[in-house]
Amino acid sequence: MTTLMVLLAELALGKLSAGIGAGLAAIAAAYGIGKIGSAAMEAIARQPEASADIRSNLIVVSAFIEGVAFLAVIVCLLLAVL
């Protein structure tokens, strides 16, 4: 019976760790996009004539961060299933 309990504990800890990892990835992505948005708004306030370039760079970098965060969440969920 002890071996079964150890296996169940390992399974539960694996799922808990995957959930924590997915949550941390989402929080880190939100923080990064927030920092980029803040810096972009300050840059637009300083140079309004460059707002189109700044906005396009903001969108591209936010998409990259979102892609990496999505990949991290998928990896965590796959690890939880295995």
User: How many residues can be counted in the chain?
Assistant: 82
> Domains in the chain, please, with CATH?
2-81 (1.20.20.10)
Q: Quick one: how far is CA 52 from the chain centroid?
A: 26
Whole-model pTM?
A: 0.79
Q: What is the pLDDT of residue 65?
A: 94
The residue that leads in pLDDT, 81 or 68, is 68
Residue 1 has pLDDT above 70, yes or no: no
Query: What would the pLDDT profile of 20-71 be if each residue is shown by its tens digit?
Result: 999 999 999 999 999 999 999 999 999 999 999 999 999 999 999 999 999 9
Q: What is the pLDDT of residue 57?
A: 94
Which phi-psi region, left, alpha or beta, contains residue 61 (left: φ > 0; alpha: ψ -120 to 50)? alpha
Residue 76 has pLDDT above 70, yes or no: yes
| Residue 37 · residue 66 · CB < 8 Å | no
